[in-house]
Structure formats: C-alpha cells, structure tokens
Structure 1
C-alpha cells in the first residue's frame, strides 16, 4: 500500500518552505507554490498523482453516487465527518448550468449555526483569475496592453524600483514569470500597518507596490516563480489607468456584469454568526477565528486584494466558472473577447503549467485541458477546476486549513459523480 502524507507533515514542509517566518504569518501559497512542495513530497513518498487516477484516494466506504441524484449533501457530510472539518461546500456546472450545489457543517466550531448554500467563502488565490480577467477587460478597451510595462504605466515609481522590473510587462506579472518576490513581507515596510492604514486603498496599494518593487528579484525573467507581489503590482497598474480602485472595478466589470451579487472583499463578516468563520488548526482540533480577528490572523490585508481577497457564495462563483467555460474554446466573446479568453487560458512558452490565474494540465477524463487553482490564507481553503472540452466546472470550499485532505476527496467524488452522471455519453467522458 502506498504511503500517505498527513496534514501535519505537509504543514511542516510548508513552514520550512516559507521564506521568513519571523516577520509574520506565512503568506498565501497558491497553486504553483504549494503544488511544487506537495509534488516533491508526493514523489519522495511514491504517492499516486490525482490527475492520473482521480478516484485513487477517496475512502472506499463513501458511495459517491451520480451527479444530479440529490445525494451531494450526503457525500459532503461523509467527507466532512471523516476529515473532522467544520464545514464543506461545493457546486458543479455543466454546459452552462448548475448541476448540483450543497453545503454541510457548522459556520463556527463551538456554535450551532449550520452553513447554507448561500453562505460566503473566502477565495484567497482563486481570486487571481478574477484579477486576470479584469486585466483582459482593460486590454479589450485599449486602456492597457499585455505588453505594457511596469515602468511605462508607473513611471513615478521607477526611481525607487529595481532595474530588473522596469521593463516587466503586464502579461509576465499574471504568468508569474516577471521575477517579482515570492514573499509579501519587506524589510522596510510595516506589515502590521497594512491592516490598520486608513488612507485610501489606492494610495495604500501603490505605496506597498513601491516597497515590493524595491525588493530583489526571486529569479530571472521568464522563469516561473509564483508571486502574489506580481498580482498586487498588476492591480496597481490597472488602478493607474482607470483611476478607480481594483475593488470598485471588479465590482462593476465582473460582479455586476455576471450577476455575482453576493461577492465582496475580505473575510466574510460573520459577526452575527450569519456567515462562516475561518478556522486555524488541524483536523479534529480547530479553533474558530472570530471576524474581528480574521484579518489580523489571516494574511490578506486590503492592499493585497488583487492577489486574493474576494469572497463569494458557491452559487455566484459558479457564474464565473460558466463564463470561462463558455469561452475557453474561443467560441465567442463574453465579458472579454474570445482572443482575450484565449490569452487568459494559454500558458507562455517555456512555462506550460500556468496561464493567467489558472494552473494548466491535461487529463484523459477531461478530454484535454484542465484549468485549476487553489487558495488559502491558512484559515480557509478553496479549489476550482474547469474541464473546458467537456464543459465541466467544479468549485469546493472549506472554512479550515485542510489542504491535501477533505477537498481532495471532495474533488475526486465530484469527478466520479460526473463521470457517472446522466448527462455524460457512453464513453464516460
């Protein structure tokens, strides 16, 4: 039997990988940064790869059923109790329609309130595809280009900027190939001040970007190094050409355009226990983090918004999945042009596994490409998977740090449910 890593083992590995624990909590690690660590662990322990066999790690005693059979709630509850998680939520879409949606568990350990399907979940780095889509809106309108450089758009920051960054274009920031720092902490900037600063968010973000651009590059241009800092700088470039905050532009051009009415920014306000709280700990030993402390315990202050501050209900995030799936094959225009959707979903030469806000792989069950991303601030975890060639989108969330456990099992279960689903053809695609 193949050995399995435990959450504490992975947690320790991630802590060792963190660049500077003394300066604050570990930063948000998205699909590329986290998966490079997990892949090293998986290889060393001879663990099976999820993409090769999506059913290989799901506990055998869970009957996954068939998509659309009304049993998703039971599947979520079996996985949640097995992993001792506070709550789980999931939604799946196929060919532009929601197939099923469910949520189970409690909003906060120690309280009785149950999660609901319209509750809000912090996306963290799953927000990056939203930021990249916003950039595409600006490119389509001629306000930005993919080749516009940091120095061209932010000339007033050039005097304090490292020379290596002046000619880095927008596309490289979104690809994580611009060489910007992987960590969000800087030697000369007060991290704590990002949570208490009362100046307008555009000014906060610009000042913070200036500090990030004074940091040494993590690697040469063209080399993939996952960088939250790059998305912050991309957000500042968008603010420069629009003269409105990233948050306001997202609200109008993404949320309102797609009818994502529940979506907003930062940890959900569950002060009345009417929304989930994030949880710190390990399975079976969770501590609920009250909303008043969530932003401080988390590492997503407002200035870092473009890298991962969006929250949404599962139903509203499904609308974003539907929009990308409908246009992932370049079939038609949507909120951005077909050409821009192609840019968003296509990795650059030499970096085949990451496009703009999406990890990119392929799978036989998906009949081709898989676009995916995860996100965490160590209190919440979310994961999205799109299989464009079969029109399938999956989104799962938990209000706890449970990487490599419950969400893996849930994604596997959802894939199996859809492979057996009534809408699929005889070859099981």
Structure 2
C-alpha cells in the first residue's frame, strides 16, 4: 500500500509540470501558426516528455494530431545517411578515407583535380568543396540523367565533380550534392541503391517506420507541409510539383516521432561509449570527426561540453534535434510548417523544454 501511495504522490507532483509544458508549447504553436507540433525529450533509455497537438492541415477544423504521424526530416536525413555509411565502414566495405576516385577511377579524367583527394568523410562533413544544390534553381540547370535512381545519382555526382570547386574561408561549405556523392560511393561498394540500404538498415534491422518523401505523398491521413502563398499559410498538396530527386540522401526522409526517438537513442548510447548497431568508436567518428560540422551534425561547445544539433527543412516542414552531452538528453521538435515564423516557434519551444527538463 505504501508503494502505491508513494507512486500516486510522484504522479501528482509530476502532473503540474507536464501540464505547464503542454500549455506553453500549445501557446507557442498557435502564436507561430504551426498547424501541428510534436516534441520529445529523451535519454538513451527513456522518454522524459512527449507530446503533439494541432492539425494535419491548417484548414482542418478538428485536432487530429497523433503521435504516430510522420514528419519530413529535411536535412536531418543527412545524419542518417552518415549513420548508414558508418555501418558499411564497420563491415569493412569502405573507409572514411576512401576517395571517390578509388571507386570510380574512370571518372577521374573529366573531374577537377581539386577533388582527387576528397574522401567519404569530406563529402559527409561538407569539406569537399562541391556546389550546394540547396535550391531548385541549381537543379533546374542540370542536364538530364537517365536510368535507375542509382545510375542517375552516379551521373549527378560525376557531373558535380566536373564543376569548379567552391572556395571559402569558412571551415566548411554546406552541400546537398556532397551527400549524393557520398551515397554514390556507398552504392558502388554494395551494388545497392541508397533506397535499398535505407530499407535494410532502418526498416529491416532497426524496424523503424519511415518513408522517402513527404508523408502525404506516401500515406493517407498524414500531416501536410505548409508554406506561405501570397502571405498566407497554405497546406501543400502531395501533387505539388516539387521533389528532391538526386539529393534524397541529403534530405528526403520522413519518420514518426517514435522511430526518430529510437534512432536518436542509439546515438545517445553510442556517445556514452556503448556499443549497439555501431561501435562506440564509430559514434565518435560520426560526431567528432570535424568541427564545427562533423558527419551529419553541427558541433558546438557549451560549458566546455560538446553539443550536437541539426535542423532540416524543405520549406514545408521543419525538424530540429539537439543532443546535449552535459545532461545526456536529446530534444526533438517536428513541425509541419517551414516558415520563418514556425522556425522561430520551434526555437521558443526548445527553450521551454530545456527550462523544464
């Protein structure tokens, strides 16, 4: 009986805090015109707080948000592509120091010499100097590429390596094309497409729920992304003429919050020197190979402790994840709007979560 009374006391003490978090985040969601906002605060083996509210579309008249909804991760897909690369490094199929032309020597003659020594780790950490391809204008200027997804990605990567490299005084130059080039290297050593590798690692091995592309293009009754049209927040239909062909490895995965939690928990455990899908040494490679951008993660310091974070958006969704090595917690926020106002709201929601948890 005493144990039951103690448990009820603990739950009673926790309830006001949970309510305060939900109330504050709901106010932020509404004030920043985010149709649906999902959040989670986790450790490597537990969920400290989890919630969602709102609607799949801004035009919906009832709250239909669900914790099993999918959200587009945008560039938070980069860390997952780097994670898949690490599984192949672990198997000895490739190394971080493998160059593109170690695998495709026939493409070297047409490429710029500045790329000859660019390695897998360089492409994944934006150190290779390839063009960004972060907007549609660049991609519209591309020549047509034929064949399978894998063949098109190979042709695209070899095309970008014929372009003059980007010169910058910054430590790195952010590039979606670098991730497509890295994916092409993974495809070469496995003779499998990036899509197949994603299914084998995320789907078959980790049993994560994911789709490639927008949720509403793949599944029924899912969140729609939102963007501004003539100043008004507008749900973007699945038929809208926009896609991330050729740069899917850089930013085109969607996941449920539970699946994303499970993936991030593997990383939290790895950062605590645990071996799981990857060895602890490979997790160190992923997070600490380069500063201020490692393999799919932005690296910052707070009170002499490293933090890892990343945001992702294709303009219609916005995702954010922060891994705090001081508290050994991760903060996840997923929104189905990519507007600047929505991104500001996500930043405010993060502050609320960090204050309470």
Superposed pair shares fold, TM > 0.5: yes
Q: Which residue of 1 aligns with 2:347?
A: 408
Q: Distance in 2 between matches of 1:269 and 1:187?
A: 24
Determine if the alignment matches structure 1 residue 93 to structure 2 residue 42: yes
CA deviations 1:317-360 (Å, max 9, x no partner) are: 0011100000113x221211111111111043xxx211110011
Q: Distance in 2 between matches of 1:220 and 1:78?
A: 41
Q: Which residue of 1 aligns with 2:11?
A: none
Q: Which residue of 2 aligns with 1:287?
A: 234
The Cα of 1:393 is off from its aligned counterpart by 0.7
SS at match of 2:215: coil
The Cα of 1:166 is off from its aligned counterpart by 2.1
Aligned with 1:368 (options 305, 316, 319): 305
8 A Cα contact 1:109 1:287, kept in partner: yes
The Cα of 1:85 is off from its aligned counterpart by 1.8
The Cα of 1:220 is off from its aligned counterpart by 6.5
Q: Which residue of 2 aligns with 1:38?
A: none
Q: Mark the CA change 1:70 to 1:211 in structure 2 (over 3 Å): closer, same or farther.
A: same
The Cα of 1:308 is off from its aligned counterpart by 0.8
Aligned with 2:295 (options 351, 356, 362): 356
Q: Distance in 1 between matches of 2:218 and 2:153?
A: 27
Aligned with 2:319 (options 356, 378, 382): 382
Q: Mark the CA change 1:89 to 1:163 in structure 2 (over 3 Å): closer, same or farther.
A: same
Q: Mark the CA change 1:272 to 1:247 in structure 2 (over 3 Å): closer, same or farther.
A: closer
Q: Distance in 2 between matches of 1:407 and 1:345?
A: 23
SS at match of 2:239: helix
The Cα of 1:373 is off from its aligned counterpart by 0.2
8 A Cα contact 1:91 1:395, kept in partner: yes
The Cα of 1:272 is off from its aligned counterpart by 7.3
Question: Residues 181-260 of structure 1: matches in 2 within 5 Å?
Answer: 181-183=131-133, 185=138, 189-190=142-143, 199-219=147-167, 223-260=171-208
Supply the RMSD in Å over aligned alpha carbons.
Answer: 2.5
Q: Which residue of 2 aligns with 1:335?
A: 277
Q: Mark the CA change 1:68 to 1:282 in structure 2 (over 3 Å): closer, same or farther.
A: farther
8 A Cα contact 1:280 1:378, kept in partner: yes
Q: Which residue of 1 aligns with 2:328?
A: 391
8 A Cα contact 1:67 1:100, kept in partner: no
Runs of 5+ consecutive residues of structure 1 not aligned to the other structure: 1-64, 419-429
Q: Mark the CA change 1:86 to 1:183 in structure 2 (over 3 Å): closer, same or farther.
A: same
Q: Distance in 2 between matches of 1:392 and 1:338?
A: 17
The Cα of 1:159 is off from its aligned counterpart by 2.7
Q: Which residue of 2 aligns with 1:319?
A: 262
Q: Which residue of 1 aligns with 2:107?
A: 157
Q: Mark the CA change 1:255 to 1:410 in structure 2 (over 3 Å): closer, same or farther.
A: farther
Question: Could you tell me the TM-score, scaled by structure 1's length?
Answer: 0.73
Aligned length: 338
Q: Mark the CA change 1:336 to 1:67 in structure 2 (over 3 Å): closer, same or farther.
A: farther
Determine if the alignment matches structure 1 residue 107 to structure 2 residue 46: no
Runs of 5+ consecutive residues of structure 2 not aligned to the other structure: 1-13
Q: Mark the CA change 1:80 to 1:353 in structure 2 (over 3 Å): closer, same or farther.
A: same
Q: Distance in 2 between matches of 1:253 and 1:84?
A: 36
Q: Distance in 2 between matches of 1:70 and 1:369?
A: 31
8 A Cα contact 2:287 2:297, kept in partner: yes
Q: Distance in 2 between matches of 1:66 and 1:417?
A: 13
Q: Distance in 1 between matches of 2:230 and 2:331?
A: 23
Aligned with 2:210 (options 248, 263, 275): 263
Q: Distance in 2 between matches of 1:388 and 1:66?
A: 27
Aligned with 1:82 (options 31, 34, 37): 31
The Cα of 1:283 is off from its aligned counterpart by 12
Q: Distance in 2 between matches of 1:107 and 1:390?
A: 33
Q: Mark the CA change 1:371 to 1:223 in structure 2 (over 3 Å): closer, same or farther.
A: closer
Question: Could you tell me the TM-score, scaled by structure 2's length?
Answer: 0.87
